[in-house]
Amino acid sequence: MRGTGYLFCSDPLGARRPDPVFAAEVACARETGGAIALVDHDALLAGDAGAALARVPRASGPYWYRGWMVPVARYADLARGLRARGCDLLTPARDFGRAHELPGWYEVFADLTPRSVWRAAPPGEPPSAPELAALTAPLGPGAGVVKDFVKSRKHEWDEACFVPALDDTRRLSAVVRRFFALQEDSLAGGLVVREYEPFVPGGEARVWWVDGEPVLTTAHPDSPAKLPAPDLSSVRPAVRALGCRWVTTDLALREDGVWRVVEVGDGQVSGLPAGADPSALFDALTRAGSHGQNDGRGGTDGRASHG
């Protein structure tokens, strides 16, 4: 295959067709001239990359992955499995991890995002109260938000996300324990505690970046009817400094009128809100994929990525 390919997740009820959740995106990818291959997400999560990629033609690609979220280790399996079939991913495994997990992107965005601390931890093993007190001391006694390296439990705000005072170690420990209990085996990487910043009502904007350029701004999937218009002047240099090819940034307006980066994500596993038109995104992705690897700053080196 020449040009740009897309690895979409297959339908769990029919492995020969794409998951219907991605139907509009599959159509857009095809309209831009992109080729479609299917990956079995369940098999990938189970650690069987061979089975997951059984329907991917050998010596095809390069590919963008576009589908459900996968842990960093499973994405690395995906990259190795594709190489074994003579294929490439346009986002290397190391870049997926840097964009997908907060410890990978935080330093680059530190001036634009709430202050954060973290520590690695396995599922089911939350840090002790003394460990939490030591971890969060740099954030001071104010309010905080608990999450893992990728996601929060913001829909369980009071019980598993928000801590009114980080120096209340008993309350902090209770929220962290509940968060770990609800995340179960889906806990990503470990624990993150972020300084709480108050944002104005109006939802978050999700900005989609390809090779350092913003190609689409949508609402956040949690608030699809609300689409702010963020100022990207300070965000663009950070995205380029991160150097990952396809990323998203979620932005919200703080009460003092400053736009803040709430999250950074790998675009391959970021969700589009209901009703969004992905045409501009897939136009940009297909053009970018046909030029090989890019350093995220607008220039290509003509080589395919090797994960």
Kindly give the confidence (pLDDT) of every residue in the chain, 307 residues in length, as a single tens digit, with 9 standing for 90 and above: 457 999 999 999 988 899 999 999 999 999 999 999 999 999 999 999 999 999 999 999 799 999 999 999 999 999 999 999 999 999 999 999 999 999 999 999 999 999 999 999 999 999 999 999 999 999 999 999 999 999 999 999 999 999 999 999 999 999 999 999 999 999 999 999 999 999 998 889 999 999 999 999 999 999 998 989 999 999 999 999 999 999 999 999 999 999 999 999 999 999 999 999 999 999 999 999 987 654 444 433 322 222 2
Distance CA 30, CA 36 (A): 7
Nearest to 192 by CA among 131, 99, 116: 116
pLDDT on residue 202 = 87
Distance CA 201, CA 298 (A): 34
Structure tokens at 259: 């736009």
Can you give the pTM of this predicted structure? 0.92
pLDDT on residue 291 = 74
Nearest to 72 by CA among 94, 87, 90, 50: 94
Distance CA 84, CA 224 (A): 40
Nearest to 114 by CA among 137, 145, 135: 145
Q: Specify the DSSP element, H or E, that contains 106.
A: helix 102-109
- β pairing state of 162-163 and 213-219: unpaired
pLDDT on residue 292 = 62
Cβ neighbours around 16 below 10 Å, total:
8
Residues in the chain, total: 307
pLDDT on residue 72 = 96
Q: Is 124 exposed, middle or buried (0-12, 13-18, 19+ CB in 10 A)?
A: exposed
pLDDT on residue 2 = 56
Are residues 172 and 166 in contact, defined by beta-carbon separation less than 8 angstroms? Answer: yes
Which residue has tokens 């939490």? 132
Distance CA 121, CA 119 (A): 6
Are residues 86 and 58 in contact, defined by beta-carbon separation less than 8 angstroms? Answer: yes
